[in-house]
Amino acid sequence: MPLDADRIKHLEFIQAVITRMGTNSFLIKGWALTLAAAFLALSAGRLSWQIALAGAVPLLCFWSLDGYFLRQEKLFRHLYDDARRPDSTVEVLSMNVGPYVTQVTWSQVTLSRTLVLFYGALLVADLAIVAISL
C-alpha cells in the first residue's frame, strides 16, 4: 500500500533532521580533532602538563556534545522507522521522539565503540603528555 503525500512529506522532514544531526556530529569531530591537535602540539612543544590537561576539558565537552547529537539522530531514526510503515500509529507531521528515549540512552551512545575509539585515542594522547611532562 503506497504512502500518502502527507506521510511522505513527514518522512522527508524526519530525514532532514537526521541529516542535520549527522552533519553536526561530523563538524564536532572536526573541531575536536583540530583543537586537540593544537593543544597536543603546544603542550608537547613546551612539555607543559597544564596545557595538556587544559586540552582535555574541551575534548570531553566535544565528546559529550557529539554523544548528544548522535543520540538525537538515533531517536529520529526510530521515529522514521515507525512513521514509514503504512499501518503506523505515529501522528502525521509529528516530530515527537519521546516514545523512544528509553530505547536510546545518552551514555549508551557516548560510550559506543566508535566514539570511544575516536575521543579515547585523543584523550590517551593528551594524558600521555601530562604523564611525560610531570
Give the model's pLDDT for residue 134.
87
CB 72 within 8 A of CB 21: yes
Burial of 89: CB neighbours in 10 Å, binned 0-12, 13-18, 19+: exposed
| Rounded distance between C-alpha atoms, residue 97 and residue 91, angstroms | 12
Give the model's pLDDT for residue 16.
98
Which pTM value belongs to this model?
0.92
The number of C-alpha atoms within 13 Å of 26 and in the hemisphere containing its C-beta is 6
Give the model's pLDDT for residue 90.
94
> In sequence order, what are the residues at sequence separation of 6 or more whose Cβ sits closer than 8 angstroms to the Cβ of residue 9?
93
Give the model's pLDDT for residue 35.
97
Domain parsing of the chain, residue ranges: 5-133
Block mean pLDDT (10 aa), the chain, length 134: 88 98 98 97 95 96 98 98 92 95 96 98 96 92
For residue 21, the one-letter residue type is M
